[in-house]
Amino acid sequence: MWKEDVLVDQKGYRLIDGIYSRGEVIGNSNVDKMLLAPGTDFHSRVRVPGSQSYFDCAVVYHYLERLFKGFSAKTVLDVGCGDGRVTTWLLENTAANIVAVDCSLDSLRRLQRRYLAQSEGYERRVLLLQCNVVDIPLRENSCDFVWAFESLYYLLEDYQRGINELSRILTDQGLLANCDRDYEYGLIYELLNKGPEALLAADKTKLMPEPGEEGDLQARLLTRREIRQALKANELYVMAESPVPAISVMVSYLNSRGLFVDEIQRYSAEMVSLFLKLLPETAFCKSTIFWSSKSQRGAPF
């Protein structure tokens, strides 16, 4: 079985409702809060026209479609998978086996019960794993595609450790795609939503508070240069950088103020087409996808 091939010494892991877990995850304050909260229902929100997830995932799926036209992977690691908005896309559009990792057991349970259990054959292709990203019980060089979308910044000061761990798991010819909150975007977000004082505080602390059910999470704000340096420290070569536009956040801001809500829903599909058309030249980003590898090679698409 492929799952036994990729799992290393399980260090006390056991199956809990089809999910490999130690029953606890040790980490920073963000991890503690995520363990208490049910996790964001991204899987449902992706299907709601006008929502931020609806627009963001259109961009993500666009990039993945382009990638897998010329790239194949045997085993994929989806880091911070939540309830599976990318895991499900990979199942439906590739032949890869997927290791879906998250610290939230509730999110993994939703992925298992709402989707995997309802789809014949999919459970065999997915290993659900509750753990901290800095200590994933997978073998070295076991995954040839690693996807980490807006998840590593929650590691705060352990960000470099997270990159180290993903590099350890990545095969020599594999591809890492990591994407984290853009520093400038974080400052603008704080200014728009909380005012100048919050803007200045975010610049000083390099942190962006995010409201959560169990208290604010802290997201580390990183410049693109800092992310490149973190990758370089692991001898990962950046082949390409792909923008994730901040327009979706502007739309979310309008929704939160009750502005143009009906129009946003009505024209969501047309807006997605426009956002995708603008992608190559987008300058104002909420985040950037860095495509990197241990070997110097051409751009993935």
DSSP string, 210-223: E--TTS-EEEE-B-
Residue range 31-53: mean pLDDT, rounded: 69
Domains of the chain: 2-182+223-293 (3.40.50.150)
Contacts of 120 (CB under 8 A, 6+ apart): none
Instruction: Write out pLDDT tens, residues 223-247.
Output: 999 999 999 999 999 999 999 999 8
Top pLDDT among 119 and 256 is at 256
Q: What is the mean pLDDT of residues 57-68?
A: 96
pLDDT tens digits along 2-23? 998 999 876 688 888 889 998 7
Please state the φ and ψ torsions of residue 23, each to the nearest 5 degrees.
85, -5
- Residue 279 is classified by DSSP as G
Structure tokens at 51: 């929502």
Q: What is the pLDDT of residue 31?
A: 62
